[in-house]
């Protein structure tokens, strides 16, 4: 409780981190390039001090820094503010890809501080700190992606942070395992939703659709800058997942062309069986 937190990037997740930590009684400061985001965080009591632009003074005093930034911006931040961080400072993040980012950030920060990468799987189709209260951490998964430069203490800290924020389930994966997994469960699903919305230019679809189409395309309201970077940084995994999905869709199309009811029913039974695992309630 005596640690001083600095959250860099007061957007959707950064704002939710600030809100959660402040409500838990931690001392939280914040920085963002948007003065409106800083003003909102101060107004709501999410942060004690805020800076728009340069925040070397807050970085110098921080015991923990949370980088709620796009991946490339993390490296720029590490190069700019790494020299002012106090020895022993712990730094973590919320980025959706890990390979090609973690090690350069660790190298830029040096050996006197520790960067332990994490990924809260709790995004929304909306953005901005004003929507941060809509993010629910309790049902979400929290993933820690350490490298050989991380210490057991750093990993333990990340687990305590997840607990303090209310995450019920924490996993530890390598950066490579994380990016393979995220290519399927997150990036492919966004690619499918985007493709569905781009496949037809009928501007009146919203007048006819039911819950199934709305649910499937909810995440098609997408941040173009962030998701372009995430897709491109993980392009090898994502293209492999698109190929795998295309093969499954082609198989289903083949059953349709052949009038094969048994083949369709087998796919439907398999999908229902696998989807049921998501609806199981944890044992108390």
Same fold, 4-173 and 178-279: no
Is the pLDDT reported for residue 14 higher than 50? yes
Query: Considering only CA atoms, which of 32, 34, 220, 60 is closest in space to residue 125?
Result: 220
Q: What is the pLDDT of residue 284?
A: 43
| Sequence spans of domains, the chain | 4-173, 178-279
Q: What is the pLDDT of residue 283?
A: 52
pLDDT, mean over the chain: 94
Is the pLDDT reported for residue 251 higher than 50? yes
Is the pLDDT reported for residue 238 higher than 60? yes
The CATH architecture that domain 178-279 belongs to is Orthogonal Bundle (1.10)
Mean predicted confidence (pLDDT) in 127-150: 94
Q: What is the pLDDT of residue 210?
A: 82
Mean predicted confidence (pLDDT) in 117-138: 92
Structure tokens at 142: 């929290």
Q: Read off φ and ψ for residue 2, nearest 5 degrees.
A: -85, -5
Structure tokens at 66: 């949370």
- Residue 162's Cβ-count burial label (10 Å; 0-12, 13-18, 19+) is buried
Query: Considering only CA atoms, which of 166, 188, 178, 167 is closest in space to residue 245?
Result: 188
Q: Mind listing the pLDDT tens digit for each residue in 162-208?
A: 999 999 899 999 999 999 999 999 999 999 999 999 998 877 777 77
Is the pLDDT reported for residue 248 higher than 60? yes
User: ∠ at Cα 44 (43, 47), nearest 5°?
Assistant: 85
Residue 267 CB contacts under 8 Å (≥ 6 apart), including other chains: 251, 252, 255
Q: Mind listing the pLDDT tens digit for each residue in 72-106?
A: 999 999 999 999 999 999 999 999 999 999 999 99
In 10 A of CB 171, how many CB atoms?
15
In 10 A of CB 200, how many CB atoms?
8
Domain 4-173, CATH: 3.40.50.720
């Amino acid at each position: 409780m005596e640690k001083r937190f600095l959250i860099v990037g007061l957007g959707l997740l950064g704002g939710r981190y600030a809100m959660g930590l402040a409500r838990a009684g931690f001392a939280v400061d914040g920085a963002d390039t948007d003065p409106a985001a800083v003003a909102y965080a101060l107004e709501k009591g999410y942060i004690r001090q805020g800076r728009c632009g340069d925040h070397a003074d807050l970085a110098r005093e921080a015991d923990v820094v949370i980088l709620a930034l796009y991946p490339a911006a993390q490296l720029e931040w590490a190069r700019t503010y790494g020299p002012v961080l106090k020895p022993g400072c712990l730094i973590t993040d919320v980025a959706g890809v890990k390979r090609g980012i973690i090690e350069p950030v660790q190298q830029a920060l040096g050996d006197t501080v520790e960067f332990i990468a994490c990924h809260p799987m709790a995004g929304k189709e909306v953005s901005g700190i004003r929507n941060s209260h809509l993010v629910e951490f309790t049902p979400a998964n929290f993933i820690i992606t350490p490298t050989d430069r991380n210490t057991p203490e750093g990993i333990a800290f990340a687990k305590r942070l997840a607990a303090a924020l209310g995450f019920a389930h924490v996993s530890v994966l390598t950066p490579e395992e994380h990016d393979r997994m995220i290519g399927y469960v997150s990036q492919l699903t966004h690619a499918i939703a985007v493709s569905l919305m781009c496949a037809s230019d009928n501007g009146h679809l919203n007048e006819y659709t039911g819950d199934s189409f709305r649910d499937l395309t909810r995440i098609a309201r997408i941040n173009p800058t962030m998701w372009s970077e995430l897709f491109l940084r993980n392009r090898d995994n994502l293209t492999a997942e698109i190929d795998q999905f295309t093969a499954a869709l082609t198989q289903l199309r083949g059953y349709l062309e052949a009038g094969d009811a048994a083949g369709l029913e087998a796919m439907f039974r398999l999908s229902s069986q696998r989807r049921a695992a998501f609806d199981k309630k944890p044992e108390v």
